[in-house]
């Protein structure tokens, strides 16, 4: 059986840090299928890593191990976690980055390793744990169960009559503003209000002319705001935290 391990870090791709983690994984499992989710998370940006983890883990095959190392507190007292959730496995620091998969999960704390470096737990703690999980070691064999892993919850949208209020939770490479508003909460007759501008709620980029603003149900089933062949982030000066409202008028 082919074992799959995904990697999500803020290590960038200029240095050899990602390759050094992969060396550990391949030494343990030479045939492992490795998939980079992203290494271009801004240093220490736990919110962005959360979003990427939350939307990307589920389509991978059951048994996949997801290695998440956005870890500004490396070497401090923060715990290291291994998690099982719906036949997927996760390894990462206990700093909130694993929040999207903690519900209904089995969570253990990895024991400290006195032989590990103090600054590169991705290589010395997390990658070895990921390899063991991929090889079939039960998550409960890797450490003691804990009941209160740290959670950093994404702000919830709120509904007030027919109006929905939410925020931008992610900005992608195209400058598309991804909100926390479930597309199912919006109605075709409504409009999206952001930065003092009213944006029509349609289906896709192609429903408006080049250069025009459009909102639609995005690929993660939340409301997104885009500019066809352009950047909504630039146009609207939108960023994570920008308020968005969906309303009849």
Q: Which is nearer to a second copy, 11 or 89 (CB)?
A: 11
Q: Which is nearer to a second copy, 163 or 205 (CB)?
A: 205
165: helix, coil or strand?
Answer: strand
**β-pair partners for 179:** 168
Lateral strand order in the sheet of 80-85: 33-38, 4-9, 65-69, 88-93, 80-85, 106-110, 144-145
Q: Which is nearer to a second copy, 4 or 139 (CB)?
A: 4
Q: Which is nearer to a second copy, 95 or 190 (CB)?
A: 95
Give the nearest distance from C-beta 191 to a second copy in angstroms.
18
Closest CA to 238 of 201, 203, 190, 192: 192
Q: Which is nearer to a second copy, 74 or 83 (CB)?
A: 74
Interface positions with a second copy (CB under 8 A):
1-2, 4, 6, 8, 11-20, 22-24, 26-27, 30-41, 43-44, 52, 55-56, 59-61, 72-77, 117-120, 123-124, 172-174, 203-207, 216-219, 224, 228-229
61: helix, coil or strand?
Answer: coil
Give the nearest distance from C-beta 56 to a second copy in angstroms.
4
Give the nearest distance from C-beta 204 to a second copy in angstroms.
3
H helices present in the chain, as ranges: 17-28, 46-56, 121, 127-134, 232-236
Give the nearest distance from C-beta 140 to a second copy in angstroms.
26
Give the nearest distance from C-beta 87 to a second copy in angstroms.
13
CA separation (Å) from 12 to 73, 83, 154, 170, 186? 17, 25, 24, 19, 37
Give the nearest distance from C-beta 174 to a second copy in angstroms.
6
Q: Distance of alpha carbon 48 from its chain centroid, rounded?
A: 6
Q: Which is nearer to a second copy, 150 or 165 (CB)?
A: 150
């Amino acid at each position: 059986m082919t074992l799959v391990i995904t990697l999500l870090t803020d290590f960038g791709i200029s240095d050899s840090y990602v390759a050094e983690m992969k060396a550990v994984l391949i030494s343990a499992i030479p045939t492992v299928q490795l998939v980079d989710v992203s290494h271009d998370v801004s240093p220490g940006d736990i919110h962005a890593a959360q979003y990427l983890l939350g939307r990307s883990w589920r389509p991978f095959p059951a048994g996949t191990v997801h290695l998440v190392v956005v870890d500004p507190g490396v070497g401090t007292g923060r715990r290291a976690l291994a998690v099982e959730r719906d036949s997927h496995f996760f390894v990462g620091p206990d700093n909130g980055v694993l929040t999207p998969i903690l519900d209904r999960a089995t969570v253990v704390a990895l024991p400290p390793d006195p032989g590990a470096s103090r600054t590169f737990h991705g290589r010395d703690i997390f990658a070895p744990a990921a390899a063991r999980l991929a090889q079939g070691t039960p998550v409960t064999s890797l450490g003691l169960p804990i009941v209160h892993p740290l959670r950093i919850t994404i702000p919830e949208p709120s509904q007030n009559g027919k109006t929905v209020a939410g925020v931008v939770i992610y900005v992608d490479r195209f400058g598309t503003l991804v909100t926390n508003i479930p597309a199912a909460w919006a109605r075709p007759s409504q409009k999206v209000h952001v930065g003092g501008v009213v944006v029509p709620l349609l289906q896709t980029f192609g429903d408006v002319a080049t250069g025009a603003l459009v909102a639609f149900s995005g690929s993660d089933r939340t409301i997104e705001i885009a500019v066809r062949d352009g950047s909504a982030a630039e146009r609207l000066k939108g960023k994570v935290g920008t308020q968005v409202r969906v309303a009849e008028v």
